[in-house]
Amino acid sequence: MKTHQKISFLKFKWALILFSIVTLTLISSCSTSQHEQFGSYLTDLKILEKNKNNSSPYVVLISIDGFRHDYIKKYQPPFLSEIEKKGFRAKSLEPIFPSKTFPNHYSLITGLYSDQHKLVANRFYDPERKEAYLLGKPTTSDGTWYGGEPLWTSIKKQGLLTASYFWVGSDANIQNSYPSYYYPYNHGTPNTERTKQVLRWLEMPKEIRPHFITLYFSHVDSAGHRYGPNSDEVKEAVLNVDRLISNLAKETQKMNGDVNFVIVSDHGMKEIDPKKSIFIGDYLETNLVSFYEQGPLTLGYFNTMATLEQREVIIKKLQEIPGVKLYEKKDRPAHWHYSKLSRQGDFILVVENGAYLFPEKRPENFLGKSGGTHGYDPKISPEMNGIFLGFGPQIKKSGVVDQTKNINIYPFIMDLLNLKVQVPIDGSSEKIKNLIRK
């Protein structure tokens, strides 16, 4: 074939692939009334040839927000209960501190503690930027807040396409990169639509099919917060997500069965004791400190106008609040990995298990906070531990295995995809890579 004919053929080939991508994207977008699919697939054309010829398996990483480590035993969801017979179930998955949603989802996807990946809480202040990062606000899609390298970026760098139906950071431009296909977060998107889209991605032609997909469910966490971890509502949410995952697995089996599932949660849930509600405003009135977060902990940031003497007075008053422990950076436990960054607070106030901390004054007629919460130190509160399960053609039948840390999930996924970890991380797959068939 002459050179110009080869070039014409390649142009035609890539034009055809591009047409397929756009067509499939339009079909996908029309199939949901929720919102449009986004992605970097148009800039990932250079990956397509590698993606087509790559022998790496397919992996779906599912997060069930707030799914406590003992919910499987407690509520007996039929599908999740059977996974240990065909794959593995860890006794628990240990989150980082604080055991909050955003920092832990980002640890799962980067293999880093928060002092490295910089997402230190759901809500926090950055004195250097002079602005706050807030859950539910545009800051969550601003990639300049995030450190580390998410799995979807690491995987794309090694020649595979990726997709995300929600994950912390998946709709943020981190390192000038997004998943190849993704949806901006929309809490109202039905869970059935999320699983249907995962199936659509897995049905794509091999050239444009993502090898790594993330999927997120929030309703177990929502029920836990509102009703508490021991409620009928949490049981129903657990059984509901069990049916969703069961149906998804059955449908992928009909397609080709060459899909591995890894199921995790970001944290667990603890019942709140209504008698242990503590209000900082009852003990301290000042405009020299700003507080971010509430519940098991709050982060305190001094106003730049506060003098050293004023700071010492404030610290002393806060240390006198019954049931509250104050940690300055120099005092924090090493296992927190929580003292390097200014955004990690000038001080942290933490409370004992079951207690709930409010920055403001106690309202009139307040009867006590109830329901469930998370954020406690997992070393002290085992209720903060989550789940880690896996099954699929590349996963060994291993039964129940030891607890591991969530920072080890990143290298485990890379091993599962036969890829190399090429960036510094805090986690290691050394103790769990034996769960993978070689």
pLDDT tens-place string over residues 78-118: 999 999 999 999 999 999 999 999 999 999 999 999 999 99
* CATH code 3.30.1360.180 for 274-370: yes
**pLDDT, position 336:** 98
Do the Cβ atoms of 200 and 31 come closer than 8 Å? yes
CATH number of 35-112+148-271+381-435: 3.40.720.10
Share of the chain above pLDDT 70, in %: 88
Residue 25 has pLDDT above 70, yes or no: no
Q: Point out the least confidently predicted range of 49-58, 137-146, 271-280, 397-406.
A: 49-58
In this prediction, residue 37 carries a pLDDT of: 66
Mean pLDDT of 394-404: 98
Domain boundaries, the chain: 35-112+148-271+381-435, 274-370
> Which of these, 242, 217, 256, 253, lies nearest to 61 by C-alpha position?
217
Residue-wise pLDDT for 227-283, tens only, equals 999 999 999 999 999 999 999 999 999 887 789 999 999 999 999 999 999 999 999
pLDDT band for position 43 (cuts 50, 70, 90): low
Distance in angstroms (rounded) separating the CA atoms of residues 316 and 382: 31
In this prediction, residue 255 carries a pLDDT of 84
* DSSP characters over 254-322: HHT--EEEEEE-S---EE--GGGEEEGGGT---SSEEEE--BSEEEEEE-TT--HHHHHHHHHHHHTST
Indicate if the pLDDT at residue 19 is higher than 60.
Answer: no
Q: Which of 39-53, 122-136, 210-224, 410-424 has the lowest mean pLDDT?
A: 39-53
The domains spanning 35-112+148-271+381-435 and 274-370 adopt the same CATH topology: no
Q: Which long-range contacts (CB under 8 A, 24 or more apart) does 181-185 make?
A: 181/25, 181/37, 181/38, 181/39, 181/41, 181/210, 182/37, 182/38, 182/39, 183/34, 183/35, 183/36, 183/37, 183/38, 184/35, 184/38, 184/141, 185/140
> Which pLDDT value is given to residue 5?
38
CA nearest to 204, candidates 179, 183, 184, 181: 181
Q: How confident is the prediction for the chain on average, in pLDDT?
A: 91
